[in-house]
Amino acid sequence: MLNFESLEIAVSPTEKFREYLATKGMRLTQERELIVAEVFSSHEHFDADQLVDRMSAQKTGRRVSRSTVYRTLGWLEDAGLLRKVARTNDRDVYEHDYGYPQHDHFICKSCGELFEFQNDDIAEILQKLADQINFRMNEHRLEVYGICDECSRPPQRRHKKLDLI
């Protein structure tokens, strides 16, 4: 994963989520606030179960149920604070991109590893294509699937004793 510098944002993720919840007639509970804090503590790709495990490993004394995590992830996505990047190993993989620059992903279909990259040429090509059809593009999302270097290497096999004779 590339190390992107954060963009300056006017409203914290917690406040933005609080505003979103208010539009739905809901409030920001302590559990939801803990989830937002954990999601935005680092820019890592994760699935819901990994987030549950990370939160369980913290000895804060506050429990957050698995169902609360799943519901909150859906609301964070609806609020535009989180997005599903891919589906690997039958699990949705998320990242937060609120406060981070536009970037794209290479995704290994074998191991599920995600590699982030930025390329201004791709954005320029997409803008030219959009201009050709009078399309107003305000963002893009590019996911390229294939096999990573590690997975494409031939397996290391041990020689059988008969091969050594």
Q: Which residues are annotated as a binding site for Fe cation?
A: 104, 140
Give the per-residue SS3 of the chain: CCCCCCCCCCCCHHHHHHHHHHHCCCCCCHHHHHHHHHHCCCCCCEEHHHHHHHHHHCCCCCCCCHHHHHHHHHHHHHCCCEEEEEEECCEEEEEECCCCCCCEEEEECCCCCEEEECCHHHHHHHHHHHHHCCCCCCCCCCEEEECCHHHHCCCCCCCCHHHHC
As annotated, the binding site for Zn(2+) includes 108, 111, 148, 151
As annotated, the binding site includes 104, 108, 111, 140, 148, 151
In the block, residue with structure tokens 């599903």 = 84
Strand pairing class (104-108; 143-146): parallel
